[in-house]
Amino acid sequence: MDVGAGECQFFQHLTERGWHGVYRPIDAVIDGTDLEGWAPSFDVHWIVCIETVEHLRFPWRLIDVMIRRAHHGVILTTPNAESVDVIACDPTHVSIVHAGDLTRAGFTVERHSWFGVPEDSLLAWRRA
């Protein structure tokens, strides 16, 4: 499941590399889903959430839902507040998710330079 799938770039990335499987995109652009109150009605193997939680007023509500519903794990990315001003770098950003909070929630966190500033992004994953 791709939560906050946008235009499904992750699916394109997977299929270009030969992946075959069930892909479920969730996003307001696709199906009108409001992620502030969304929860899936079924469990899934994996949930990926790329550059989404910083757009939510209550990101931990969604993170907790994803943890509960993913049988194998959750993968998410978000800007790294230790390197960039998360709120100022995009007018649609409303929340900051810190690396330490993700670590305390059981995620393994790595810092990456994806947008041009050293360690500007967090990649976090948690196995169920």
Q: Mean pLDDT over residues 107-111, rounded? A: 98
Please report, to the nearest 10 degrees, the dihedral formed by the alpha carbons of residues 124, 98, 93, 7 taken in order: 0
In this prediction, residue 49 has a pLDDT band, given cuts at 50, 70 and 90, of very high
Dihedral angle sign, alpha carbons of residues 114, 115, 117, 121 = negative
Domain 2-127, second-level architecture: 3-Layer(aba) Sandwich (3.40)
Show me where the domains of the chain are located. 2-127
57 pLDDT higher than 90: yes
| Token duo for residue 90 | 């995009």
pLDDT in tens, 15-40: 999 999 999 999 999 999 999 999 99
Q: What mean pLDDT comes out for the span 70-89?
A: 96
Average pLDDT for 87-102: 97
Pairing of strands 108-112, 121-127: antiparallel
